[in-house]
Amino acid sequence: MTPEQSPPPPPSDGREPRGFGGEQGWPRWTVWVLLAVFVGALFIVPAMTAVNPSQQVSYGTFLSDLEAGKISEAQYNNRNGNVTGKYQDGNAFSTTGPVPPPDADAETMQQNGVTFVTPEESIWQTLIIYMLPLVLVIGFFLWMQRRASSQMGGIMSVGRSKAKLYTTERPDTTFVDVAGYDGVKQEITEIVDFLKHSERFSEIGARIPKGVLLVGPPGTGKTLIARAVAGEAGVPFLSVTGSDFMEMFVGVGASRVRDLFQTARKMGKAIIFIDEIDSIGRKRGAGLGGGHDEREQTLNQMLAEMDGFEVSAGIVMMAATNRPDILDPALLRPGRFDRQVVVPLPELEDRREILDVHAKGKRMSPDVDLDVVARGTPGMSGADLANLVNEAALFAVREGDDVIRMRHFEEARDRVLMGQRRESMALSDGEKEAIAYHEAGHALCAAVLPTADPIHKVTIIPAGMALGVTQQLPDQERHIYRQDYIEDSLVVRMGGRIAEELVFGVISTGANNDLVGATELARKMVREWGMSRRVGPMAWGNQGPVFLGEDMMHSRDYSDDTARVIDEEVERILREQEQRCRDTLTDHRRALDLIARALLEHETIDGSEVVRLLELTGASLPDRTGVAPPTAAAAAAPAAPEPAGQHHVTPTD
């Protein structure tokens, strides 16, 4: 911040100072204190003044005792008629007489030594008796008035923006805390540099984008990048979520958008960040019965503020969403959100840096190799990796270890990918044998096929919804997938079902998950990837999730004849790969038996053991020179559209 620039005023939340119990008004206990003082004045003070208890007698008894000489001294109060005195025996008494006393009674009292007094009234007593009730009544009405004005102020200020203001005095996060994503940070840093040093860009006539939209899957760190901008920028940063604009009153969202931009304009240069912008930026006029009036009015106002008749110079918009397909086209055109920055799932190098960030402050054993962990977690987002490290720490605590070891990462990865182990689940000997041959079929196919991912671990211990799991480790980061790789993946998926058929002569329901994945993969080969000669180089759309605002149902853009050809091609591909799987397992039947027996004996074996058993039978294995040993690596979570790196037998649906 330059010396001549004064810090912006603190943000207002639109609430007026309150009366009793408010944030800036009197404390809530004020009323109770005043009430206690009033009660004390009425009851406690008079009781304390009566130090000596006295006997209450009637006025007639007082006169009789006075004439009989039983009273030694007495005083008569001319103001209220109270009579106090003492008997000859020292006992005190009190009574009340008329004011003024009758002449005969007054003469009798004077003859017997009764003193007539006229006491002066205390000003404090007068104030307590007469003024305190009035003060309490006035205070009560003032309290009611303040409450009413506060409520009216809250209603009238409902259109004020709820954005949180961050200045240079509050750098919570910086780009150092954002691991990886160098390309994303480059584009965001350019925006920050323009706001700090705009003259460098204006000298050559460059115009900075008015809006930057961060797009990516959940958990990739879009909001974290925005917080880093708040820490790096030397200008005020206004942060708000899309849901903060929505209220039950129509027009409130538009009013809050106006107030948000007015606040930003007063600051000269500012960054406005809207998280989850898809909640207010959906396409207008979509859905049955028209659009949502409040959402559309809010969007219209935002469009006008970003690039309307009034220029918003020096204000840069940032927004984050994981649903860019449902945003209104007017919001994405140049002049509004000029630049879309994709924040993808992290690559291998990015995952390594993210693991370094989350491993700070945690005690790691020397045997922990984060490079191996990063290599074995393709498809995991930054949030997934943070959860993985935390789960490893929890496993270390459960075991009573003082450091996190590599086996804790293994257990944490299994927990994340498969679920909690169910070691206490009771399985019959026949079920265990069927599961062992099922997983042995997966493992054998993965080990002997040339393009299949190497085996990492095979287990028949139930975990989550699976009764057994075969984990594969991708030997490299893949961004495109060849047809032979996908076909080998189909063979691996078929391995469990065919192994059961070869050994037991029957099939079971355990291959349900494998069949679902294989069918979906074969259908994509035909419909989307053009891997069928009969269908040809044509793509027939994606059957992904439907946005209700655009389509109420999927529309099929091909004929019934084409649909029949697609189904036939899907069946052909699955039948061919099924036969390849059957031939592979038949040729290596002895190795299949050895792997299944090893699983029945040890319950869990690693990839090196599978390779050793295959070598004992003289099987020819593919050359994987240069690939890290699967025993030292982590199990893989597949990244779409990569075929799943784990195959398991599931219970009956």
Catalytic residues: 439
What 3-state DSSP class applies to 317?
strand
Give the type of residue at 540.
W
Is residue 449 within 8 A of residue 488, CB to CB? The reply is yes
> What tokens were used for 424?
């206490």
DSSP string for residues in 164-225: EEE-TT-----GGGS-S-HHHHHHHHHHHHHHH-HHHHHTTT----SEEEEE--TTSSHHHH
Which residues, 6+ apart, have CB-to-CB distance to 399 below 8 Å?
Answer: 408
Element (H, E) at 118: none
Is residue 593 within 8 A of residue 502, CB to CB? The reply is no
Long-range contacts: 27-33, Cβ < 8 Å, 24+?
31/139, 31/143
> What tokens were used for 336?
């509004």
Query: If 0-12 CB within 10 Å is exposed, 13-18 middle and 19+ buried, where does residue 88 land?
Result: exposed
CA distance 473 to 452: 9
Instruction: Residue 227: count other Cβ atoms within 10 Å of its Cβ.
Output: 20
Query: Mutual orientation of helices 30-39 and 132-156 as an angle, nearest 10°?
Result: 170
> What tokens were used for 428?
């019959």
- Token pair 């050994």: residue: 503
- Token pair 């990865």: residue: 413
Query: How many C-alpha atoms does 156 have within 13 Å on its Cβ side?
Result: 7
CA distance 439 to 295: 52
Q: In the chain, what is the greatest distance between 2 CA atoms, to the nearest angstrom? A: 142
DSSP string for residues in 542-589: ---PPPTTT-SSPPP-S-HHHHHHHHHHHHHHHHHHHHHHHHHHHHTH
* End-to-end alpha carbon distance in the chain: 63
What 3-state DSSP class applies to 470?
strand
What 3-state DSSP class applies to 333?
coil
Peptide bond into 641 cis (omega under 30): yes
> What tokens were used for 138?
């006035």
> What value, to the nearest 5°, has the Cα angle with vertex 153 and ends 151 and 159?
115
Instruction: Residue 61: count other Cβ atoms within 10 Å of its Cβ.
Output: 12
